[in-house]
Amino acid sequence: MSVTPDDVRHVAALARLSLPEDQVASYVAQLNAILGHMAALQQVPSTGAAAEAEAARAGMALRPDVIAPVPLSRPPAEFAPQMREGFFLVPRLATHEDAGEGA
């Protein structure tokens, strides 16, 4: 199958593209080159390709997620003067003074 200048004009009209007449021949050549590449790809034997694609889809085996704490290089008391129940206490921002004590 090859593309004709009328095909290019028709597709340009469907896409509502303005196509200068002096570029039609260039587009015909480019589209025919693309179709030539597709024809070459159709000649490649593809037996067994579907089975290999299915095997690749399975992906890599995943390792189990193991949650382990990251050890600190210094004890928390050195860099956090206030702690409560394992959490760092930080001073309230001045812009949040009106939020109340419940926050």
| Number of domains the chain contains | 1
Question: Is residue 100 very low, low, confident or very high in pLDDT (cuts 50, 70, 90)?
Answer: low
Residue 79 belongs to some domain of the structure? no
Residue 63 belongs to some domain of the structure? no
Residue 67 belongs to some domain of the structure? no
Report whether 77 contacts 83 (CB < 8 A): yes
Question: Is residue 98 very low, low, confident or very high in pLDDT (cuts 50, 70, 90)?
Answer: low
What does the mean pLDDT of the chain come to? 85
Residue 31 belongs to some domain of the structure? yes
Average pLDDT over residues 62-72: 86
Residue 80 belongs to some domain of the structure? no
Q: pLDDT value at position 102?
A: 54
Residue 69 belongs to some domain of the structure? no
Residue 12 burial by CB count (10 A; 0-12/13-18/19+): exposed, middle or buried?
middle
Q: Could you tell me the pTM of the whole model?
A: 0.46
Residue 34 lies in domain: 5-44
What are the Cα distances from residue 89, in Å, to 81, 92, 98? 8, 9, 19
